[in-house]
A = this chain, B = another copy of it.
Amino acid sequence: MPSPARQDFLPFALSLAAAARAETLPRWRTGCASEDKGGTADYDPVTDADREGERAMRALIEAEFPDHGISGEEFPDRPASGPWCWSLDPVDGTRSFTCGLPNWVTLIALLHEGRPVLGVIDAPALDELYTGFGEAAVLIAAGAASPARVSDCRSLVDARFSTTDPYLFSGTELDAFQAVRSRVRTMRYGHDGYGYARVAAGSLDLVIENSLKPHDYNALIPVVRAAGGVIGDWRGGEDLSAGKIIAAATPQLFEAAVSCMENAA
């Protein structure tokens, strides 16, 4: 029997996103206002959303694909007994979640022999889901699907550039970031994994970050690549294991960012 292809897992991946949404979205913006704080002292909506979101996704995977591995943020890894493994981050952008801001996402990746081949970036509070596998990237907004495609931005001077928090950079990394920042057309902050979704959809052109963990970046790779974009490391390669990521709309823009950062450091 042939092994299933990555696109065969798409409906299942969407069911994982839906299961996580059912746990995360009802907990968002609860416990924010003063009148809601009277409950138990250890009430923490984002921790609950993280844990219950991941638990719901794990239960579906364990029931449907008991041979698949699972690596998530909240629970110990479950080793695979075959080539397939899921990487899960129920709430990426926990600070936005706790601040009642809508740009947090759920990240889901399917890996085949260690390489991410299908990604989902779901933004429950915005009702936008971005998915990519092979050369097909799709945005499902308010239930309506449309193709996702990167912009044709090729140079820093035209680029709409985003990073989550400039204070995550220091030393030569800060110099490298600031060199790019000083050259781009527009700079935005604060979007965590959602920034990569908007690169895939063509309204941002460039995201540069550090400090990302595998469950932060695994899902981004298939989405950005399937939309026609480039995602790699700060040296221009494809080794993301140090957590230093560049996502760009075009190879030219990716190379321009790498070159600008190398010259600054």
Does A160 belong to the interface (CB within 8 Å)? yes
Q: Are A33 and B149 in contact (CB under 8 A)?
A: yes
Q: A32's closest neighbor in chain B, by CB?
A: B203
Q: Are B34 and A101 in contact (CB under 8 A)?
A: no
CB-CB contacts below 8 Å: A16-53 with B: 29, 32-35, 37
Digitize A88-109: 1 where CB-to-B-CB distance is under 8 Å, 0 elsewhere. Answer: 0000000110111111000000
Q: Are A186 and B95 in contact (CB under 8 A)?
A: yes
Q: Are A152 and B101 in contact (CB under 8 A)?
A: no
Q: Are A150 and B34 in contact (CB under 8 A)?
A: yes
Report copies per complex. 2
Among A32, A103, A150, A152, chain B packs the most CB atoms within 10 A around the CB of: A32
Please measure, in the bound complex, the distance between the C-alpha atom of A254 and the C-alpha atom of B127, giving whole angstroms.
Answer: 35
Q: Are B100 and A32 in contact (CB under 8 A)?
A: no
A191 surroundings in chain B (CB, below 8 A): 101, 190
Distance to closest chain B CB from A171 (angstroms): 17
Distance to closest chain B CB from A122 (angstroms): 15
Does A14 belong to the interface (CB within 8 Å)? no
Does A166 belong to the interface (CB within 8 Å)? yes
Digitize A65-103: 1 where CB-to-B-CB distance is under 8 Å, 0 elsewhere. Answer: 000000000000000000000000000000110111111
Distance to closest chain B CB from A209 (angstroms): 13
* Interface residue from B126, B190, B202 paired with A188 (Cβ < 8 Å): B190
Please measure, in the bound complex, the distance between the C-alpha atom of A99 and the C-alpha atom of B187, giving whole angstroms.
Answer: 9
Please measure, in the bound complex, the distance between the C-alpha atom of A151 and the C-alpha atom of B29, giving whole angstroms.
Answer: 12
Digitize A134-173: 1 where CB-to-B-CB distance is under 8 Å, 0 elsewhere. Answer: 0000000000000001111000000010100111000000
Spell out A's residues near B (CB within 8 Å): 29, 32-35, 37, 95-96, 98-103, 126, 149-152, 160, 162, 165-167, 181, 186-191, 198, 201-204
4 more contacts with CB within 8 A, not counting A99-B186, A99-B188, A165-B189, are A35-B149, A95-B188, A100-B201, A101-B204
